[in-house]
């Protein structure tokens, strides 16, 4: 494994032997070490130095390790620093307390120095800036929205699997924007920790740069990065439709594909996503309610500022035996069905429950193959050039 670039790492430990051992591992990895013996010492040193990561030992003399972690997360200059917590307490409750305090990683002592080195590398890698080199002109990505007029038709499942397939097939930068502001499910589908959300960007909307975007996007092991929706419903209204437009304009500068999952509503924020989308994947199931509402949406789409040419209809659970025939649905919609996805049964639901997308877990499953077809269609498209944000 190649070495990661040299970084400044702050070690906070009141145990001189451990501090020495950590210093040795880090310098062997090529990093620069800053040592602090207490939490107070760490808070003094962090703002003065350019620090890329913090390792906090548990326990510390003086300020509690968890309190230090919380304080780092509360301070605007240290809020997004990767934090690794080291503790001899290995119970789930102890680990959860560490994560709740704001740690990104938790390693129990005694640890293997190779494992420590790997975890540090991964943390630093995930925190890397995704921005294109400055010299490169601002090529703009493609925005794809997954929308449906009814809840539970499979929008999020298809959205997540398509995003991962596009990433796997292109190896380009793929972002998912969770546009279900009240009850976003992307984090659940991908089993992501609720550490940062779009609220962190909205609060600093005028200061957004590559660094901040990178710090707030939550990385998934597939390479896809996610802008999570607000964690609590009461925070959802902090995100306005103007914010949504601005965030999508920014993401499309940094990512080749920005894939948005939408809520089933015609509210301003959802319409802002649809307005920004180059492609709208309109998902329905062969049932009377979704068919009626989808027909209505297609009817009024132009008056909502949505171009019909951007809309691609996906019939999910197309083989449902009690469903309406696809030809009948096309007649009701006055629009062709471009993609059909079968009902994938238990494996689909189980993959959602496990937080491991089907395209990763079972790439040969019929649903995964149909998703690959949708992804291939989207990849072929050349994103239209848009005005700069």
Ligand X SMILES: Nc1ncnc2c1ncn2[C@@H]1O[C@H](COP(=O)(O)OP(=O)(O)OP(=O)(O)O)[C@@H](O)[C@H]1O
Structure tokens at 100: 């709740």
Dihedral over Cα of 245, 260, 200, 234: its sign: positive
For the four alpha carbons of 376, 382, 384 and 389, in that order, the dihedral sign comes to positive
> Using CB under 6 A, which residues numbered 97 to 156 contact ligand X?
148, 151-156
CB of 339 to Mg ion, least distance (A): 18
Least CB distance to ligand X at residue 233 (A): 14
> Does the protein bind ligand X through residue 228 (CB under 6 A)?
no
Q: Of these partners, ligand X, Mg ion, none, which one is at the site of residue 367 (CB under 5 to 8 Å by kind)? A: ligand X
3 state DSSP class of 151: coil
Query: Shortest approach of ligand X to residue 188 CB, angstroms?
Result: 9
Closer residue to Mg ion (CB): 78 or 156: 156
Between 22 and 367, CB nearer to ligand X? 367
Closest approach, Cβ 148 to Mg ion, in A, equals 8
Q: Which range touches ligand X (CB under 6 A), out of 92-100, 196-204, 329-337, 342-350?
A: 342-350
Least gap, CB of 188 to Mg ion (angstroms): 9
Q: Which of 13, 37, 143, 156 binds Mg ion (CB under 5 A)?
A: 156
Cβ(279)–Cβ(312) below 8 Å: yes
Question: Rounded to the nearest 5 degrees, what angle is found at the Cα of 73, between the Cα atoms of 71 and 77?
Answer: 95
Spatial strand order of the sheet with 225-227 comes to 218-219, 225-227, 174-179, 257-262, 142-147, 279-284, 311-316, 337-341
Contact residues for 316 (Cβ-Cβ < 8 A; gap 6+): 153, 154, 158, 283, 284, 285, 341
Cβ proximity to ligand X: between 68 and 358 the closer is 358
Provide the CB-side half-sphere exposure for 119 (13 A, CA): 21
- Quick one: 140 or 189, whose CB is closer to ligand X? 189
Determine, following the binding rule CB under 6 A, whether residue 367 of this chain makes contact with ligand X.
Answer: yes
- Which is closer to ligand X, CB of 157 or CB of 197? 157
The beta-strand segments (E) located in 321-363 are 337-341
Q: Could you list the residues that contact ligand X (CB under 6 A)?
A: 148, 151-157, 180, 185, 264, 316-317, 341, 343-345, 348-349, 352, 367
Q: Could you list the residues that contact Mg ion (CB under 5 A)?
A: 155-156, 185
């Amino acid at each position: 494994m190649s070495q990661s670039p040299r970084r400044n790492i702050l070690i906070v430990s009141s145990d001189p032997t451990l501090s020495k051992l950590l210093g040795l591992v880090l310098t062997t990895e090529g990093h620069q070490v800053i040592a602090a013996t207490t939490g107070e010492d760490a808070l003094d040193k962090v703002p003065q130095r350019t620090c890329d990561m913090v390792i906090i030992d548990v326990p510390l003399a003086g300020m509690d390790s968890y309190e230090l972690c919380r304080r780092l997360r509360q301070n605007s200059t240290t809020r997004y620093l990767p934090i690794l917590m080291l503790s001899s307490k290995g119970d789930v409750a102890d680990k959860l307390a560490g994560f709740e305090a704001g740690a990104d990683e938790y390693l129990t002592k005694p640890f293997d120095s190779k494992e420590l080195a790997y975890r540090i590398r991964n943390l630093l890698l995930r925190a890397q800036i995704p921005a294109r080199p400055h010299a490169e002109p601002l090529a703009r990505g493609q925005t794809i929205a997954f929308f449906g007029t009814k809840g539970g038709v499979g929008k999020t499942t298809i959205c997540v699997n398509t995003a991962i397939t596009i990433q796997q097939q292109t190896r380009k930068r793929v972002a998912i924007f969770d546009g279900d502001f009240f009850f976003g499910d992307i984090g659940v589908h991908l089993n992501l920790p609720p550490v940062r959300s779009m609220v962190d960007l909205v609060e600093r909307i005028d200061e957004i740069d590559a660094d901040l975007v990178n710090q707030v996007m939550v990385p998934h092991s597939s390479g896809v990065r996610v802008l999570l929706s607000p964690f609590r419903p009461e925070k959802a209204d902090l995100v306005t439709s103007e914010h949504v437009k601005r965030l999508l304009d920014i993401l499309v500068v940094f990512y080749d594909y920005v894939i948005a999952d939408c809520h089933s509503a015609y509210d301003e924020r959802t319409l802002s996503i649809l307005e920004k989308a180059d492609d709208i994947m309109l998902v329905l199931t062969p049932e009377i309610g979704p068919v009626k509402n989808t027909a209505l949406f297609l009817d009024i789409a132009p008056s909502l500022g949505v171009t019909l040419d951007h809309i691609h209809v996906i019939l999910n659970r197309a083989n449902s035996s009690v469903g309406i025939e696809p030809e009948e649905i096309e007649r009701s919609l006055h629009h062709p069905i471009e993609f059909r996805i079968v009902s994938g049964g238990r494996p689909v639901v189980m993959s959602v429950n496990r937080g491991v997308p089907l395209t990763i877990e079972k790439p040969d499953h019929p649903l995964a193959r149909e998703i690959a077809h949708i992804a291939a269609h989207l990849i072929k498209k050349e994103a239209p050039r848009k005005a700069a944000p």
